[in-house]
Amino acid sequence: MNKLPEISHTQIETGFTIVETITALTISTIVAAVSFPSLAGFWGDYATRLAQTNAHAQLLILKREAQRTNRTCQVTFSGNQATVNPADCLVSMGRSLSDSGWGSDLGVTVSGTLSSVTFSPLATITPSSNGTLRFGHAWTNTTRCLVLSQPLGVIRLGTIQQNACVKDGRS
């Protein structure tokens, strides 16, 4: 008669015990809970920086298009939306300033004193005073800003510090 081979205890005890599994899940949960505020702050900062960069790029393109076509081009900001008149001055300008570019909203709030800007073919702008756009997000304390200065439409990027837009060194 054939006898089955003996199995040692080391061969039987493979895999994870319930205690090891619960310990690993507990540690993973603690690490996730500790890192979430940091990741949320990172996302909020990324979103405000992207919205600021989108607005900056669109204003530069609009300014150059007014010079290239030898006509005036106007952009109007209302909430998170920017509209251009005439519309063919900037084809990509119909979307929200807080759009990620992938069809999802970043949750950025756009506010400020810059409601409408007209670029002339001579590279001058109206209104007659400087204007500021502010970009904020609920997950970060950093408020980014964009200042459009008179008379040539120089655009300065920065962050809000003590209720003033301070240049952040990357513009």
Q: Quick: pLDDT tens for 22-42.
A: 999 999 999 888 877 777 888
Residue-number span of the structural domain to which 111 is assigned: 17-167
pLDDT single digits (tens) 89-144: 876 655 566 665 555 566 777 777 888 888 888 878 887 678 888 888 888 888 89
Total domains, the chain:
1
Average predicted confidence (pLDDT) for the chain: 80
Q: What is the CATH number of the domain that holds 146?
A: 3.55.40.10
Lowest-pLDDT choice from 51-65, 76-90, 98-112, 153-167: 98-112
The answer to whether residue 90 sits within a structural domain is yes
Let me know if residue 80 belongs to a domain.
yes
Q: H/E/C letters for each residue in the chain?
A: CCCCCCCCHHHHCCCCCHHHHHHHHHHHHHHHHHHHHHHHHHHHHHHHHHHHHHHHHHHHHHHHHHHHHCCCEEEEEECCEEEEECHHHCHHHHCECCECCCCCECCCEEEECCCEEEECCCCCEECCCCEEEEEECCCCCCCEEEEEECCCCEEEEEEEECCEEEECCCC
Q: What is the pTM of this model?
A: 0.71
Q: For residue 6, is it within any domain?
A: no
- Does residue 171 carry a pLDDT above 50? no
42 in a structural domain = yes
